[in-house]
Every structure is written in C-alpha cells, then in structure tokens.
Amino acid sequence: MAIVLIRQDGKTASWKNALKAKAPGVPIYNYQEDHPREQVTMAIVWKHPQGTLKAYPNLQCIASFGAGVDFIFEDPGLPGNLPITRVVDPVLASDMSEFVIAQVFSYLKHLKQYALDQEERIWRPKAYRRIADEVVGIMGMGALGTVLARDLTQLGFQVRGWATSKKTGLATPCYSGQEALGEFLTPVTILVCLLPLTEQTRGILNKPLFSQLPKGAFIINVARGGHLVDADLLEMLKTGQLSGAALDVFHDEPLPKDHPFWDLPEVHLTPHIASVSDQDSVVPQLLENYRRLQKGQALLNVVSRDKGY
Ligand code: GLV
C-alpha cells in the first residue's frame, strides 16, 4: 500500500515532507518520480492532470488536498466507484471566515478606494457604511458557510443562509432550494458565495440572481470561478445594480492578463488565497484516512458522487 501525490503547483515536495514527517514508514510518492504504480492505494490530488488516475490499477481512494472536489468530478478519466474524500478542517473554515470578514469591512469602509487615492495623492472622504446597515447572505451553508455565519452574527451583522438542499439544526436562518432563492435574496446587501461547484450551481451568480438583490449590493465570490457569469457581473456593475465585487476565484487561474476585471476599481481581486489548506492541520486527517483504508474502516469526509460534493 502506498500514497501518490498529484498536484502541479510546485508544492508537492513540501506536502510530501509534511506527510513523511508524520508517517515515516508509509511509502509516499510524487507522481512525477519513478514509482511502483501498482502499489498505490491512495491518491491525494489537487487539480491533477486529467487522466492521470487511470495509471493506478489498485487505487482504493481519491483524496482532495482541499475542500473542493469539483476538479475530480471534471476528470473524464475518473475511475468509477472509488470513495472520494475532501478536507473538512476548522483552520480552513476560520481562515475563510477571516478573509470574508476582511473583505466585508474593506467594502464598508472603502479601503480599496483610499489605497487607490493614496497612489494619486487624492484626499477624498466618502460616506461609509456600518454593520447595522447590512444583511449578509451566505450561499452554501456547509462546513465553511456555517462558521462564517456564526462569526458575522457575533460581530452584529444580520445573517441569512441559502443552500441547494434543506439544512436542519443551523443557528442561522437558512433558505433552501430554487423556490426560496428570491425570498432569501430580497434584503441581502452583501452576498457571499461558498457553494460547492456542481452542475446545479455552475453559473448561479448571474443576471437574474443579481437583479433580485437591492440596488448597490456587493458580491463576494470565494467558491469557484465557475459559479459566476463574468459578463453578467460586468453588466450589473455598469448599471449600478451591483456596487462592487470581491473575487478570489476565476474561470481561468491565473486570471488572464487581458480580462476586464483587472481594470475595474470596484472589483477587489485576490489570487485564490482566501483559505488555503494548512499542512499541520490537514496532514493528520489525510493520514487517518490512509490508516482507515488499510484497516478496511469507513473513511472520513467522503463526498457524494450523486451530489458532486
Ligand atoms: C480551495 O479552493 C479548496 O477547495 O480547498
């Protein structure tokens, strides 16, 4: 039994060292090195080249390095019937919450505009917004959304959630399904997308949805670029239906140099860094699943192939 790591972002060596440090006896390979493919039972992947998983005849589990698994389901060469796991981690959730809260306050207090003004030596006070003015709507009330909802509520924001399917036992009011989307959106001044990307949610941040928000609403997309219809956002910013957007994720990453988002002062652009898997926190759960696999026990954080998350 062995583990193969498949990612292309230059971080494989550091993940391999972190995993080895906690499990010195486990054979762990970078997919690019020479390795005995038939021994590999677990593949840990992040945006792996499509088709690479087919090279492992004895694979028993595919684990995502992160919270998202959309890129796994997008692989036409995905082996059938193997369990797929994702990261569910308190550090990932608190990092996400901190990032979104930073974007919310930057928006309320015009911090980006003042940074731009400073470059031009412009002294230009603007009326600011405050917590009491805002209703934050969170689309996606899973492991990340519920922590963000809790933290925003503690800060005094009015918070409401929306999920594709019904959620029970949440501390935050939560709407569910297409039929409740309009009611959810009506008072929302700041809309945060934390949905998993599936066939059902692809392109959900679109003109019909934006049109149901109060005029001047602000969008924060920290989920996947595929949720957003870029042209619809550009149009809604132009008409003033939306006052701005904080975008951390894009259809193509890195965002192509000629994309119109780069030039818009009302777009707050960050390079997919809202919440990044922390090795100290995530390595133990990846290894726990490897041990469970060895013992034939049920794995942690298995996603549903039917739902796609
Ligand atoms: C980051 O985008 C993740 O899915 O963990």
* Residue 96: predicted pLDDT: 98
User: For the chain, which ranges sit under pLDDT 50?
Assistant: none
Q: Range(s) for CATH 3.40.50.720 in the chain?
A: 2-89+277-295, 90-269
Residues with CB under 6 A from ligand 1: 66-68, 277
Q: Any bridge partners for residue 136, and if so which?
A: 159, 190
Amino acid at 297: Q
* Residue 117: predicted pLDDT: 98
* H runs (alpha helix) in the chain: 12-22, 70-73, 90-108, 111-119, 143-154, 181-185, 207-211, 230-239, 279-295
Taken in order 168, 173, 179, 181, the sign of the CA dihedral is: negative
* Residue 47: predicted pLDDT: 96
**pLDDT tens, position by position, 245-284:** 999 999 999 999 999 999 999 999 999 999 999 999 999 9
Q: Which of 91, 270, 276 to mutate to test the pocket of ligand 1 (most atoms within 8 A of CB)?
A: 276
* Residue 279: predicted pLDDT: 97
* Residue 191: predicted pLDDT: 99
Which pTM was predicted? 0.96
CA atoms of 242 and 235, how far apart (whole Å): 9
Q: How far is the CA of 129 from the centre of ligand 1 (A)?
A: 30
* Residue 34: predicted pLDDT: 97
CATH of domain 2-89+277-295: 3.40.50.720
* Residue 79: predicted pLDDT: 94
CATH of domain 90-269: 3.40.50.720
Identify the residue whose C-alpha is closest to ligand 1 atom 4.
Answer: 68
Taken in order 7, 10, 11, 13, the sign of the CA dihedral is: positive
Q: How far is the CA of 131 from the centre of ligand 1 (A)?
A: 28
Q: How far is CA 256 from CA 64, 225, 252, 262, in A?
A: 26, 13, 7, 9
* Residue 67: predicted pLDDT: 96
* Residue 210: predicted pLDDT: 98
DSSP one-letter code for 141: -
Q: How far is the CA of 274 from the centre of ligand 1 (A)?
A: 9
Identify the residue whose C-alpha is closest to ligand 1 atom 2.
Answer: 68
Contacts of 55 (CB under 8 A, 6+ apart): 37
Q: Catalytic residues, which ones?
A: 224, 272
